[in-house]
A and B are shown apart, each in its own frame.
Chain A
Amino acid sequence: MNSTLSILLASFTTPIDIPTDPKAMMWMFPLLLAIVIVYKATKLRVIFPKKFIREVTLLFLTISVFMILAGVALNVFVALLTRS
């Protein structure tokens, strides 16, 4: 029991390895999900589980798609600028 607890606590004293590459951008999605969940939890008048899940999914997908499109547009813009 004590060794399990020690291992658990030790895992919070050493950072995990995240390379600086495009895949690191994926870390924004859990953050976005948490923001959407808390926003909807404070915004909806009454929390009904089905409605809540539907609203969270819709907002999460909408913002995700917008951010992906913005990322693609910025990449294309930079590629056009640096080509010449």
Chain B
Amino acid sequence: MAKRSDMDHGLLLLIVALLAWAVPGAGHFFIKERRRAYIIFITIAALFLIGLYVGSIAVIDPVGAWPWYVGQMLASPAVAIFGHATRSGGLESFGKPHDVGQIYTAIAGGLNLLCILSAVFMAHSGRGEIIGSEEDE
């Protein structure tokens, strides 16, 4: 098998990273780590949705709580849609539900960062395809 050029390899890593950021678990899915991908997607999506349900989408506040927003954005760029919705107004959340919602959504983002790094590392070392086939057996 022909060895990939450095540029192809860099492009592959970039694609894996972008996919993993866009949809939690998609990076692992792309490198044939299917089981890992399903587990990551279900867990991170559930954690993020529980956070939104508990504190409402007002917990995504790009203006008043931007450090949390940075963490939340790590879950997916789609979070910016919620950020745009809350910026333009009317929604408010206070107290314990706000805290719990903010923590859940930001931790979901942090966990997705871990998964992005994991997917990129697996793609870099070629582990994805090897382990993916081991899982299929």
Judge: A and B partners, yes or no. yes
Please, what's the 1-or-0 string for A9-48, where 1 marks a CB less than 8 Å from any CB in chain B? 0011111111110001001001100110111011001111
Check A15 against B39 for contact (C-beta < 8 Å).
Answer: no
Interface size of B as a range? 35 or more
| Chain A residue nearest in CB terms to B98 | A15
B58 touching A35 by the CB < 8 A rule? no
Since A30-B50, A41-B40 are in contact, a sample of 5 more A-B pairs with Cβ atoms closer than 8 Å, ordered by chain A residue number, is: A12-B57, A13-B58, A15-B55, A34-B111, A42-B114
Interface size class of A (residues with CB under 8 A): 20 to 34
**Contact present for B131 and A20 (CB under 8 Å):** no
Of the candidate stretches B2-10, B11-19, B65-73, B99-107, the one touching chain A is B99-107
22 contacts between A and B (CB under 8 A): A11-B53, A12-B52, A12-B53, A13-B56, A13-B58, A13-B91, A15-B56, A15-B98, A18-B97, A20-B95, A24-B100, A27-B100, A34-B43, A34-B44, A34-B47, A34-B107, A37-B43, A38-B40, A41-B39, A41-B115, A47-B35, A47-B39
Contact, CB under 8 Å: B54 / A18: yes
Known: A12-B57, A13-B91, A18-B97. Contact between A45 and B131, CB under 8 A?
Answer: yes
